[in-house]
Every structure is written in C-alpha cells, then in structure tokens.
Amino acid sequence: MSRGFQLAERFSGVTTSPVRDILAVVNRGDVISFAGGIPDGSLFALDDFRAAFDHVLSTQGRRALQYASTQGEPELLEQVAARMARQLPTTPDQVQVTSGSQEGIFLVGQALLDPGDVVLVEQPTYLAAVQAFSLAGARLVAVASDDHGMLPDALNAAIAAHRPRFVYLIPTFQNPTGRSMPAARRREVADVLLRTGVPLLEDDPYGELRFEGEAAAPLAALPGMGAQTVLLNSASKVMAPGVRIGWLRAEGPILRAVEVAKQAVGLQSAVTDQLAVARYLATCDLDAHIARVVDVYRERRDAMASGLASRLPAGAEVTRPEGGMFLWARLGGGADTAVTLPAAVDAGVAYVPGWPFFAAEPDRSTMRLSYVTNAPDVIERGLDRLAGALGW
Amino acid sequence: MSRGFQLAERFSGVTTSPVRDILAVVNRGDVISFAGGIPDGSLFALDDFRAAFDHVLSTQGRRALQYASTQGEPELLEQVAARMARQLPTTPDQVQVTSGSQEGIFLVGQALLDPGDVVLVEQPTYLAAVQAFSLAGARLVAVASDDHGMLPDALNAAIAAHRPRFVYLIPTFQNPTGRSMPAARRREVADVLLRTGVPLLEDDPYGELRFEGEAAAPLAALPGMGAQTVLLNSASKVMAPGVRIGWLRAEGPILRAVEVAKQAVGLQSAVTDQLAVARYLATCDLDAHIARVVDVYRERRDAMASGLASRLPAGAEVTRPEGGMFLWARLGGGADTAVTLPAAVDAGVAYVPGWPFFAAEPDRSTMRLSYVTNAPDVIERGLDRLAGALGW
C-alpha cells in the first residue's frame, strides 16, 4: 500500500550524515567520543540563559509565544548587527535570523542553486553543507587546497571551467581540518572572486574560538566583498546549540530571496529562543564567556595534539589548529579509517572517518578528531584506546 | 559587484506570502486585523509555559542547550505519539518533530518532489504550502472542490491526467475556507487514493479547535491509509506558535528521507522548546485549555458570522465553519478584494484577498477573514469599517 512514496531524485545522491549516525552509536555506553562537534555542556552559561528565558517569559511572554516576523526579532537583529559590525559595517536590515547556521547554508542553497549548478568547495569541506547543496540539486566541485586553504590559482581555473553559482568557504578553523586561511591568502582569493564576480558563502561559526595567533578579518570585510558575500554566523559554538539560533549577513536582493525561502521552510525561528539570545547578548558579557571557554579548549587542543604526536605511526600527519574544535589526522599508507572505526568503537573511542568530507577523491586514511568535549585526562584515555584499536 | 547573486529558477514562480506582507502593514497603527491566522495571545497558557521552560532549564538545562537528535527529543515523541494514538495507532518511532507544521510541509516536499512533479491541491488551498512545494520545483494542480472539500470523481480524473506525486489536503476547518470534509467524503477520497496508490499529505493544525458538530477522524486513520499518509500536526494553534514546534506521523522509508532533509535544513528543532512542550504536555491539561480557547473562539465565530450576514451585499456567500480560525466570503459580481484592500486598510481594517490561495483560476471576489484574534465588540467595529470601505 505504500507503493506511492517514491523519494525524489535529489535523494539519490544524499545520504544521512555519517557523523550523526556515529553520534547515535556513541551515546550508548562508555564510549569516549572525539566524533561530534559537541561543545562541552559544562561550560554553557546556564545561569545566564535561564535568567534570559525567565526574563523573556516573565516580561514579554505572550510575544515570545506568538507568531513573529520572518526576518527575526528586532532586538536580536540589533545585537547581531552590532557584533558583526566589529568586523564589517552591518545594519540590522542586513541580517536574517536562521535556525542555526545550518539553516543559513540551506537557505542560501535554495536561493541560488538550480539543479545541475556547481558549487566550488574546499577539499575537504563540511559535509552537512554538501547535504544542503545536494538537496538543491547542485553538483559540488572540490578545489585544490593546501594548509592555508583554497589555492587561488586552482580557484581561478575552477571558475573558468565550471562557472559556479558560488564558492563555499570556512576560512577560519575549518571543519573538518581546523586550518585557517591567512590574511594574504584571503586577499588573493577575494581578488579572484571580485574579478570573476562569483559570490562567496562564508561560513564562520568557529572564528571567535581563537587560542592564539592573530585574527584575520572575514573575507566579507575586504574591500568590495561585502556586497558579494553571504556571511554565516551562529550561537551554537560560542553560546549554545540547543536554542538553534544563527544568523547571516548579506546585501541586496538575495536577502529577500533568503527570507522567502525561510517563510517556506518554517515561517520564523523560535521566538522564545530569539528573544532569550537577544537578552543574553544585551545583558551578559559574551566576550568574557568566550575567553573562559577558549582557555579550556586550548588546554584540550594541547592534550590531544601532544597525545597524538607521541602515538601516531610514522608517516602520519596531524594539524595543530589555532582555534576551533577539530584536529585532522592523515594516517597515510593503506589506512582506511572507515574500516577501522568499528574496532575503535568496540575499544570505547569514536572519531569521524575523513572520507565523507571530500566532494571528490576522498583520502580514506584521514580522520576528524574533536577535542572540545572531553577533559585532558579523558582525551589521554581515549587516545590510548584509539592507538590500541588501530595498532599504532 | 553584486552581479554574482543570480537567484535560482525556483524563485521565478515564488513570491513572498501576501498574508505576511499585509501583516507587516497592519502591525502599524490602529488597524483591526482579520488577516493573519494569529491566535489570541491573551489565551496562551503563559504561566504553564513559563513553568515548563523553568523546569527544563532548572533540571536539565545543559541538555536543553546542547545538540540533540534530528528526529526529536524522546519525551516529546512519546507525548505526541500518545496524543496522535487517540485517532490512529502511533508509536514514537513514527514521529518526526518539525519546526512548526510549515517545516513539515516543506520537508515532505523535499522528500517527494522532483522539479516538474505535480501535487494535487484543493481549490482554494493554503498558500504557504504552495510556496513550499514550488521551492521543490513542483507544479500545483487544483482539483475541483465543493463545500465538503475535494470531489472524489475530480480527484480520480486528475490522478489519471497528471500522475501526481501526492495529494495535499486540509480536511478539517480548512485554511482558507474553514470548511470540513465529512466522514463519508473522507472514505470516498481515501478509496480513490488507495486504489491509485497516490500518497496523501494530510495537514491537520486546526482539528482540535471544534466548536460544534461531530469530529471526523483523519483520513490517515481509515483502513489502509496509515501507510500511505503523512499526517501533520502542530503546537501552533492549540498551544503557542512562538515555540515553533510541530510534528508529523508517517510509516516506512519516507520517515528516513524526511529526517535526512531535516538534517540538511537545520539539524534539529530548538531543544529548549521541544523539552518545554513535552513538559507542558506531561504536566498540564491541554484538553481543558483547548476547551477554554474553543469557548472564546466560538463566540467570535458567531459574532463575525452574524455581523457579516447583516452587512454583506446581496449575492455574497460566506462559510460558517464548525471550528478553526477562518471564514471565507465570496462577494461575487465584479468585486476584486485585492483592489479594495488598500481602502479597507485606510479605513482601519484588514483581510486577506482570496486570489493567492488559488493554484489556478482565482476567484478574485473572495476574501479570508480570521475571527480568532479579536473580541466580539472589536469584530463588530471592524466589520463596520469593512462595510464602509467596500460600499456594502
């Protein structure tokens, strides 16, 4: 009787996120997880958020429970615009609230992509963005990248060859590699984009989680790039993911298209959470909170980096990010981290195999390791299990 | 420099919702609005929701602020399944939480529709569903309908002619007309769908807002239809829209496709709100709350129905719904409610012109009037303004 449910073609190239399937497994039992990009909940500003929700529901409860505008609550638009304006001039009317930056990625895909259109992505890139673009029918083309991110010459050649609708980049503390694009490379990449007129979708959820080194401004802040870039940002990594609040900055008609897509997807983001995040931003010191989180994450990055350095087999490589949530290891040789994952989980440790992050020619010896969820001693124990299971 | 942002083809047929544009206008100044489907916020169970949020953030705050599963929080899945099981057997694993039922409509469109596919809809139908299906590239075909909803013979012929991917119905207190499909018509429609194997997307956000008459079970509850139907439901009309919590019930592989689409759209619905709604359902008496709301809305329906009866010009028709939020008036003659709207707004009253609700051949003399937002005396005053502005 269910013969009627034929899935759309767009699902032929889309599978569920392997990250999330693994998360489902590791929530069972005593597994030390380096898999998910899960902030340490013990660091949440819980009292501040409880106070913010309480204030909102006590003083403007009927508004918080009611329908609202699709763009977002004015208080939140103002807070977000003021924060973004530290990096580039931003007014509230240039902001659209989204349900996490994942929805931002999806909405931009809906606004700009026709079936068969090409999106240029880093190699490797964030796999849930791949999912979102695939649902819009896009074809993803990976552009050669080095430790500083996408290569400008390769980008130039790919634009000429594929005429992409846009380029998708995570320039700072990239997911999955943790690498960042230095200021000079940003200028080179922006030059290519400005010369060719190809828009940029710049995803920046991790930028404020900097442990060391000098911050480079978003590409959107470079001369001329503001009008050609959609800049995505989120409460998830620096405040709390459970409220599902993100936002994007753009200029011109694309804002209207994103808003129409947002209407169709779900009318508006949860008003309760929008007002609570706005209240938190208006009354709490997010910078001080981030500084506390960064101190803890830095220590964990150190624990995982040094723990890996002493355990990884000869010939393996690992990144040492200056911030964010992830390390990226390349084992090399004939290793296949998807094949070895079950043994690792049996041994009580989880990671994410690297292959799903590649839009093309996956390096199957790679893996993504998150260091933010666990304390240094747990990281040590997890790495012991990992080394044992993988025969390092 | 922004030459790069070319909007996707799917936006060529999609415009912003006229309802929401009008809402933006009527929020300014002293306009009595019959336009939006906006619940009366003074009826929200605000104390109960404040207590629910406080309980969640006090006892499981770190969980509420953290990432969670895409399907939904177990407590909410259980509460929702138990409530749906009053009408048809439903287990928690058959439920997907959505950000309002609007997101449910969108996700099902993503799961089932390829560009060019046909969806059969009522004439008229809910315009935001039209938006959501259009973004998936679908073509909407209106099926002839009478006061009892879609005509089975016309449905049968349309299926043969158009080979639709699914049929979209709001069988109870339909938006925009307020009409309901009686039990006998439901069986006839289900027979056609079962015989042809065409799936049903059954949207039921208003069903519990019944003022009088006997409730008919959802089509999904008819023998054989459970496996062939996605049934949508929501907290928006019976609890509060601001939390953006809805849910759908389905069986089989489509659940997985909807979950993958949900991952791509935004990972999960706000965890805070999911847990708060679950807590509300577990500890409060929603039936008693709905009974209170229904008593108020019934009085307002009566006020608007009798107020219209004494004012409408000769030849005009108006529905008298047994529940829900909307009346539907057909002025007939050469009236064009889109043309007369500015005069109405100038006179201090707003409605929604009927034409956007038609997938084909709009009757431009129609209008949708919501009676739930305003008290009877305000309704009277609004109808006076309306009659004056439209020359009744």
Which of B152 and A6 is assigned the larger pLDDT? B152
Asked whether the beta carbons of residue B7 and residue A261 sit closer than 8 angstroms, the reply is no
DSSP string, B239-267: T-STT--EEEE--THHHHHHHHHHHHHHS
pLDDT level of residue B37 (50, 70, 90 thresholds): confident
- Provide the pLDDT for residue B128: 86
Query: A317: which strand partners?
Result: A330
CATH number, span B47-283: 3.40.640.10
Minimal Cβ distance to B115: which of A38, A115, A194: A115
d(CA A183, CA A174): 15
Q: Taking CA A28 as the corner, what is the angle to CA A27 and CA A32, rounded to the nearest 5 degrees? A: 65
Report the gap between the CA of B54 and the closest CA in chain A (Å): 7
- Provide the pLDDT for residue A128: 86
- What tens digit of pLDDT does each residue of B70-125 get? 999 999 999 999 999 999 999 999 999 999 999 999 999 999 999 999 999 999 99
CB count in 10 Å sphere of residue A121 = 29
pLDDT surpassing 80 at residue B16:
no
- Quick one: chain A helix, strand, coil %, rounded to 5? 45, 15, 40
Which of B361 and B328 is assigned the larger pLDDT? B328
Is residue A175 within 8 Å of A204, Cβ to Cβ?
no
Going from N- to C-terminal start, the domains of chain A cover: 2-44+287-390, 46-283
CA atoms B55, B58, B60, B66: torsion sign: positive
A326 token code pair: 């992830």
DSSP string, A133-177: HHHTT-EEEE--EETTEE-HHHHHHHHHHH--SEEEE--SS-TTT
Please state the φ and ψ torsions of residue B354, each to the nearest 5 degrees.
Answer: -80, -20
- Provide the pLDDT for residue B21: 65
**Phi-psi domain of B324 (left: phi exceeds 0; alpha: psi -120 through 50; beta: other):** left
* Neighboring chain A residues of B244 at a CB cutoff of 8 Å: 266-271
Is residue A214 within 8 Å of A325, Cβ to Cβ?
no
Is residue A24 within 8 angstroms of chain B, CB to CB?
A: yes
Is residue A242 within 8 angstroms of chain B, CB to CB?
A: yes
Which A-chain residues 294-323 have CB contacts (< 8 A) with chain B? none
- Provide the pLDDT for residue B201: 98
- Provide the pLDDT for residue B311: 94
d(CA A94, CA A107): 15
Residues in chain A, pLDDT under 50: 1-2
Is residue A61 within 8 angstroms of chain B, CB to CB?
A: yes
Asked whether the beta carbons of residue A57 and residue B50 sit closer than 8 angstroms, the reply is yes
Report the gap between the CA of B347 and the closest CA in chain A (Å): 24
CA A284 to chain centre: 24
d(CA A380, CA B365): 72
pLDDT surpassing 80 at residue B27:
no
Is residue A109 within 8 Å of A164, Cβ to Cβ?
no
The CATH number, out of the four listed (3.40.640.10, 3.50.50.60, 1.10.1200.10, 3.40.309.10), of the domain defined by the range A46-283? 3.40.640.10
- Provide the pLDDT for residue B2: 39
Asked whether the beta carbons of residue A7 and residue B61 sit closer than 8 angstroms, the reply is no
- What tens digit of pLDDT does each residue of B171-205 get? 999 999 999 999 999 999 999 999 999 999 999 99
Q: Which fold has domain A2-44+287-390?
A: Aspartate Aminotransferase, domain 1 (3.90.1150)
Asked whether the beta carbons of residue A61 and residue B68 sit closer than 8 angstroms, the reply is no
Which A-chain residues 325-384 have CB contacts (< 8 A) with chain B? none
Percent of chain B exceeding pLDDT 70 equals 95
- What tens digit of pLDDT does each residue of A188-211 get? 999 999 999 999 999 999 999 999
What is the interface size between A and B, counted as CB pairs within 8 Å?
295
pLDDT surpassing 90 at residue B235:
yes
Q: Mean pLDDT, chain B, as a whole number?
A: 93
* Neighboring chain A residues of B48 at a CB cutoff of 8 Å: none
Q: Above 0.85 for ipTM, yes or no?
A: yes
Domain over B2-45+287-390 is classified CATH 3.90.1150.10: yes
Asked whether the beta carbons of residue B4 and residue A39 sit closer than 8 angstroms, the reply is no
**The 3-state secondary structure of B39-88, one letter per residue:** CCHHHCCHHHHHHHHHHHHHHCHHHHCCCCCCCCCHHHHHHHHHHHCCCC
Report the gap between the CA of A364 and the closest CA in chain B (Å): 24
Minimal Cβ distance to B270: which of A62, A115, A243: A243
B117 token code pair: 């596919």
d(CA A203, CA A193): 16
Percent of chain B exceeding pLDDT 90 equals 84
